Chains A and B, each alone.
Chain A
Amino acid sequence: AQSVTQLDSQVPVFEEAPVELRCNYSSSVSVYLFWYVQYPNQGLQLLLKYLSGSTLVKGINGFEAEFNKSQTSFHLRKPSVHISDTAEYFCAVSPSGGSYIPTFGRGTSLIVHP
């Protein structure tokens, strides 16, 4: 079984400032890692994923994340946020085989102020 902990329920930040959303996971098997974004009243959109290879993963909208196996973390970063980045962000982990069913964290609400 896998579990995901998103350490911050809400992260306020000013426009053009950098941001980091934290995610830690636990699993007894090899995993894939994901970050999704959800805008109000919409479904989830995949921002980026780590399957294998380079531990620094780049995604859409200027986001990136780094897989740290020793710390079991997969933190999401953006060097300069925009108002339009205001949304809910979910970290997820899935087994690296079988059904690939993801387990999601509780989410972090990113609030970008002008």
Chain B
Amino acid sequence: EVQLVESGGGLVQSGGSLRLSCGASGFSFSGYWMSWVRQAPGKGLEWVANINTDGSEKYYLDSVKGRLTISRDNAKNSLYLQLTSLRAEDTAVYYCARYNNYYMDVWGKGTTVTVSS
């Protein structure tokens, strides 16, 4: 079964850091681009970042550039999102998704990040 499982969310103070992880199974992880998408409470979906198959290309939402970093470890079938200098507006459910030909065809259940001031 194709599956993505996020972890690492939690409560963090404004200005703090957090590292999210996403474990992939059931497909050849190293052959796919991957994405992070977030959803603030009561709001819509917001794309955050994409990474190519070997991690050499990364694309970010303008408002997170310099603060959030996407990375991957193909040997561990894992995707990561390092969040630093966190702000209240980063509070959201963060979803890991498989990015396949410009669309997200497999999604995880999400992990919640809450930034307190």
Q: Do A and B come from one complex?
A: no
- On B, residues with C-beta under 8 Å from A are none
